[in-house]
């Protein structure tokens, strides 16, 4: 089978798995084991030499199974399959999105280094950057969506640590307003601040659009991160994360993962493999539903404004251009301002029946929440206003239900506002 010629969705049921090694079982079993038996002492020695980097792998040699903190078939096969969507060399799966994020930041930043990050980022990431990295003497500075490359360079210069810029970390589209960040311009910036023995890395949290609708590695990113809890898992029943990139960078990520011990377990790996089989049909249905919902919300008398990539204002040339270049779909996340404030937004949320009032996103069931008092409650109130995360803003993650039922639910809850 030449997998290079096939689409990822055709390979999600089989790629990387050999039934003959598992009694002919069509599905990869759950390898619920902590350790693996070596055939001989020589084999065990050879496996460890490769695992600890004591020698290079021979051309056709695969890393042997040693111990489930280092490797486990449910994780390895899952990682191979995830690589197909993003066109990455290698992948590491983690026990949560936050463990993927924190491991990458810790591996590639040292005391004295500067981290440049986009605002807003996921609340947990924001906390880790501002409260944890700074404890270790890492300088951090943020920029906002919509700022030009010149403005961002000024921010780097003003930080006083431009010569130690080590990583640019971005989330696009930004949660919850769907503002876009230009990956090409971030990649240019990373290149500009790199020199011979010091490469500035561009890391992208692709949870909102990936792995289907945006492939940051093709736009100059070095590392891509996921909360696999969201679209990849897709059923609101598992917490997990993933990081993808080149072989060299991933070797470092995997080494730190081994020593932090924050890899996903075999059961999580198995659940995610099961989820990947339906990833594309789920995400496509979610995007189709989102488009229908956006059309319904547009112009509804109780709604002031909607934030959806499928209805960017025609005169917003900057975002139109980035969207065309970076994304292959408008996605299934949308936000909107209701007319009024927190009272109206809460009344709307409390009157939903089919759509559940919960944080998280990307799942089969539609979810609604109030960013200002929930996911973004920890963001500095002044910054929150600047970012458009006001009391009237509601975020929707659209699921796979029938669009008519979702629209009926929204219609009833919006009527309850007035
Ligand atoms: C949920 C989320 C995370 C954190 O992932 P967990 O799996 O909850 O640890 C990080 N980034 C984004 C964009 C998210 O939505």
Q: What is the pLDDT of residues 205-257, one digit of tens each?
A: 999 998 999 999 999 999 999 999 999 999 999 999 999 999 999 999 999 99
* CA 19 to centroid of chain Cα atoms: 31
CB-CB neighbours of 175 under 10 Å: 23
Where does the pLDDT of residue 178 fall: very low under 50, low under 70, confident under 90, or very high at 90 and above? very high
For ligand 1, the distance from its centroid to the CA atom of residue 207, given in whole angstroms, is: 7
| Three-state SS letters, 4-38 | HHCCHHHHCCCCCCCHHHHCCCCCCCCCCCCECCC
CA distances from 148 to 37, 110, 160, 230, 263 (A): 56, 27, 19, 30, 38
Of the candidates 68, 73, 3, 57, the residue with the CA atom closest to the CA atom of residue 33: 68
For ligand 1, the distance from its centroid to the CA atom of residue 120, given in whole angstroms, is: 13
CB-CB neighbours of 335 under 10 Å: 21
As a whole number of angstroms, the distance between CA 214 and CA 207 comes to 10
Among 38-42, 87-91, 375-379, where is mean pLDDT lowest? Answer: 375-379
Q: What is the pLDDT of residue 187?
A: 97
For ligand 1, the distance from its centroid to the CA atom of residue 47, given in whole angstroms, is: 34
pTM given for the model: 0.96
90-259: CATH class? alpha beta
As a whole number of angstroms, the distance between CA 179 and CA 285 comes to 23
Ligand 1 pocket, mutate which of 124, 129, 206 (most atoms under 8 A from CB): 124
As a whole number of angstroms, the distance between CA 408 and CA 274 comes to 31
Ligand 1 pocket, mutate which of 230, 359, 367 (most atoms under 8 A from CB): 230
* CA 139 to centroid of chain Cα atoms: 24
Where does the pLDDT of residue 16 fall: very low under 50, low under 70, confident under 90, or very high at 90 and above? very high
**Could you identify the atom of ligand 1 that is nearest to the CA of residue 175?**
13
As a whole number of angstroms, the distance between CA 49 and CA 92 comes to 20
For ligand 1, the distance from its centroid to the CA atom of residue 361, given in whole angstroms, is: 9
As a whole number of angstroms, the distance between CA 379 and CA 126 comes to 8
Residues 233, 240: contact at Cβ < 8 Å? yes
Q: What is the pLDDT of residue 8?
A: 97
Ligand 1 pocket, mutate which of 97, 226, 239, 397 (most atoms under 8 A from CB): 97
DSSP, collapsed to helix, strand or coil, labels residue 333 as strand
Res 3 pLDDT > 80: no
For ligand 1, the distance from its centroid to the CA atom of residue 196, given in whole angstroms, is: 34
Q: Whose CA is nearest to atom 11 of ligand 1?
A: 122
Q: Whose CA is nearest to atom 8 of ligand 1?
A: 97
Mean pLDDT, residues 271-285 taken together: 98
The pLDDT tens digits of the residues spanning 134-175 come to 999 999 999 998 899 999 999 999 999 999 999 999 999 999
Q: What is the pLDDT of residue 51?
A: 85
Ligand 1 pocket, mutate which of 102, 103, 118, 122 (most atoms under 8 A from CB): 122
For ligand 1, the distance from its centroid to the CA atom of residue 60, given in whole angstroms, is: 36
Mean pLDDT, residues 35-60 taken together: 90
Domain ranges of the chain: 90-259, 279-415
Q: What is the pLDDT of residue 2?
A: 64
Res 389 pLDDT > 70: yes
**Could you identify the atom of ligand 1 that is nearest to the CA of residue 101?**
10
Cα torsion 4, 5, 8, 10 to 10°: value is -130
Of the candidates 90, 402, 365, 409, the residue with the CA atom closest to the CA atom of residue 230: 365
Give residues (CB < 6 A) around ligand 1: 96-98, 122, 124-125, 171, 175, 205, 207-208, 227, 229-230, 239, 241
Residues 6+ apart with CB under 8 A from 387: 119, 120, 144, 174, 177, 379
Whole-number average pLDDT of the chain: 95
Positive or negative: CA dihedral 371, 374, 379, 381: positive
Where does the pLDDT of residue 344 fall: very low under 50, low under 70, confident under 90, or very high at 90 and above? very high
Q: Which CATH architecture has domain 279-415?
A: Alpha-Beta Complex (3.90)
Q: What is the pLDDT of residue 38?
A: 97
**Could you identify the atom of ligand 1 that is nearest to the CA of residue 98?**
9
Where does the pLDDT of residue 57 fall: very low under 50, low under 70, confident under 90, or very high at 90 and above? confident
Residues 6+ apart with CB under 8 A from 350: 357, 416
């Amino acid at each position: 089978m030449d997998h290079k010629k096939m689409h990822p969705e055709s390979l999600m049921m089989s790629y990387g798995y050999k039934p003959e090694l598992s009694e002919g079982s069509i599905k990869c079993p759950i390898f619920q084991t902590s350790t693996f038996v070596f055939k001989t002492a020589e084999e065990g020695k050879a496996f460890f030499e490769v695992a600890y980097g004591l020698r290079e792998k021979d051309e056709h040699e695969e890393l042997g199974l040693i111990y489930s903190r280092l490797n486990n078939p449910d994780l390895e096969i899952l990682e191979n399959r995830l690589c197909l969507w993003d066109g990455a060399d290698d992948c590491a799966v983690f026990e949560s999105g936050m463990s993927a994020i924190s491991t990458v930041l810790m591996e590639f930043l040292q005391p004295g280094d500067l981290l440049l990050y986009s605002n807003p980022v996921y609340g947990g990431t924001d906390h880790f950057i501002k409260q944890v990295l700074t404890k270790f003497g890492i300088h951090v500075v943020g920029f906002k969506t919509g700022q030009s490359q010149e403005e961002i360079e000024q921010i780097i210069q003003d930080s006083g640590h431009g010569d130690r810029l080590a990583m640019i970390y971005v989330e696009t589209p930004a949660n919850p307003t769907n503002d876009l960040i230009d990956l090409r311009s971030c990649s240019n910036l990373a290149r500009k601040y790199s020199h011979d023995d010091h490469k500035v890395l561009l890391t992208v949290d692709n949870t909102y659009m990936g792995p289907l609708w945006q492939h940051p590695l093709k736009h100059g990113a070095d590392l891509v991160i996921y909360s696999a809890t969201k679209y990849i898992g897709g059923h609101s029943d598992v917490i997990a994360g993933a990081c993808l990139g080149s072989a060299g960078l991933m070797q470092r990520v995997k080494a730190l993962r081994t020593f932090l011990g924050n890899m996903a377990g075999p059961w999580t790996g198995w659940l995610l493999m099961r989820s990947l089989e339906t990833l594309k049909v789920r995400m496509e249905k979610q995007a189709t539903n989102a488009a229908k919902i956006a059309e319904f919300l547009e112009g509804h008398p109780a709604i002031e404004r909607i934030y959806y990539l499928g209805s960017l204002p025609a005169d917003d040339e900057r975002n139109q251009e980035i969207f065309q270049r970076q994304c292959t779909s408008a996605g299934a996340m949308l936000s909107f301002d209701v007319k009024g404030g927190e009272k109206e937004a809460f009344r709307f949320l409390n009157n939903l029946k089919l759509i559940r009032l919960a944080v998280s996103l990307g799942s089969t069931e539609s979810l609604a929440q109030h960013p200002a008092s929930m996911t973004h409650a920890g963001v500095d109130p002044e910054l929150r206003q600047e970012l458009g995360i006001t009391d009237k803003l509601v975020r929707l993650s659209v699921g796979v239900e029938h669009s008519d039922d979702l629209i009926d639910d929204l219609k009833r809850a919006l009527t309850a506002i007035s």
